[in-house]
Amino acid sequence: MIITITPNPCVDKTIFIDTLLPGDKIRAYRCSCIAGGKGCNVSRAINAMGGETIAVPFVGGHTGKHVVEMLETMDRLQCSPVEITEMTRTITTVLEESRHRQTALFEPGPSISQKECRKALKLIEQLLPEATLIIMSGSAPDPNLDNFYRDVVQMSHEANLNSIVDAYGTIFEQALSAIPYMIKPNIEEAEKITKSPITTRAEQWGTVDRFRKQGIPLVVLSLGAEGALLSFKDTQFHVEPPPINTVNPVGSGDALVAGFALGITQKMDIESMARLGIAMGTANAMSWDIGAFRKKEVDQLLEQVQITHR
């Protein structure tokens, strides 16, 4: 059972309109709503491939209940929520179909107390006997969580479990100090750590090397449509997807993480694991909904993924 942890999930609403005119009253002709949040996306992608997963989102208020209900009924995911006092945020995306332009409005995330943080650690501890891997995804909505991923990584070491951290900012930096098994920054997230621009391929490899030297066993630097650079043991390669018709790449990093999670738990060799991760990330970018691809689409992409050793 792969556990995904999402401290900052959301009700993810998309409003479809023709044209956005600021200050005007605009009637939508369609509206869709899903459970958002990076770990929730990872669980959805694992589920799409037939893997076993349990989502652990922090949820509060009626919007929090809605997130859990959507995960369980729409996504058919097993869910073990951490209840918090403050309300889960809603993210509203306005999609102008005439211009193919999207504008997203983010509500602030909830405050989370130290006590709620300890409650979350306890809940995760109770799930450990069933766990095969722990994934921590996304940012912290409250500085009280700055050491949360670090503590979960430490717990995973004690339980002899591998962990993946996909985040940025202080919560990510702290997590790095506990040495998770795998990290998957994109360029922007890596730049927040290196505090300098990463533009050339040499600088990208330099960043991967830096994380490896810190002791992280598996480093994947994702590059959007250009795929990813990977370093594991003494193997380093660039893994590239085929060209596709990009519809919505949001959540592709989460789908990539899901692919690696399946690879790690199924003890795949590193190249097969990378192919699966890249194919899942790419399949996600080919449709609007996040993690809504089918295994058949991923299987077709797998053969087209290219690996070039460093």
Ligand X SMILES: Nc1ncnc2c1ncn2[C@@H]1O[C@H](COP(=O)(O)OP(=O)(O)OP(=O)(O)O)[C@@H](O)[C@H]1O
Q: How far is the C-alpha of 285 from the C-alpha of 204, rounded, in Å?
A: 23
Q: Does 241 engage in binding with Mg ion (CB under 5 A)?
A: no
Q: In the complex with ligand X, which residue's Cβ is closer, 83 or 173?
A: 173
The helix (run of H) or strand (run of E) holding residue 151 is: helix 148-158
Rounded-to-integer distance, Cα 204 and Cα 209, Å? 9
Residue 29 beta carbon to ligand X: minimum distance, rounded to whole angstroms: 27
- Smallest gap from Cβ 284 to Mg ion, in A, equals 11
DSSP state letters, 226-288: G-EEEEETTEEEEEEPPP---S--TTHHHHHHHHHHHHHHTT--HHHHHHHHHHHHHHHHTSS
Residues 6 or more apart whose CB falls under 8 angstroms from that of 202 comprise: none
By the rule CB under 6 A, 253 interacts with ligand X = yes
Does 204 bind ligand X (CB under 6 A)? Our answer is no
Q: Could you give the string, one character per residue 279-308, with x where binding to ligand X holds by CB under 6 A and - elsewhere? A: --xx--x-----------------------
Cβ nearer to ligand X, comparing 73 with 246 = 246
Name residues whose C-beta falls within 8 Å of residue 197's C-beta, 6 or more positions apart in sequence.
191, 203
| Residue 86 near ligand X by CB under 6 A | no
Nearer to ligand X, 71 or 221 (CB): 221
In sequence order, what are the beta bridge partners of 91? 12, 106
Among 278, 291, 292, 293, binds ligand X (CB under 6 A): 278
| Position of minimal CB gap to Mg ion | 253
Work out which of 33, 91, 127, 225 binds ligand X, going by CB under 6 A: 225
Residues 305 and 192: their CA atoms lie apart, in Å, by 29
The residues facing 59 across adjacent strands are 83
- Give the Cα separation of 268 and 147 in Å (integer): 31
Q: Report the nearest approach of ligand X to the CB of residue 63 (Å).
A: 21
Whole-number Cα distances in Å, 71 to 35, 111, 130, 131, 136: 6, 22, 20, 19, 17
* Tokens 């349990």, residue located: 54
- Give yes or no for residue 253 binding Mg ion (CB under 5 A): yes
Beta carbon nearer to ligand X, 57 or 227: 227
134 binds, among ligand X, Mg ion, none (CB under 5 to 8 A by kind): none
Q: Which amino acid is at 281?
A: G
Segment lying near ligand X (by CB under 6 A), choices 48-56, 68-76, 118-126, 278-286: 278-286
| Per-residue binding letters, 178-197, with ligand X (x by CB under 6 A) | --------x-----------
Instruction: Give the torsion through C-alpha atoms of 124, 126, 130, 133, to 10 deg.
Output: 20
Q: Does 291 bind Mg ion (CB under 5 A)?
A: no
Give me the 26-45 binding string for ligand X, x by CB under 6 A, dash otherwise. Answer: --------------------
> What residue ranges bind ligand X (CB under 6 A)?
186, 222-225, 227-228, 241, 244, 246, 249-254, 256, 278, 281-282, 285
> What residue ranges bind Mg ion (CB under 5 A)?
253
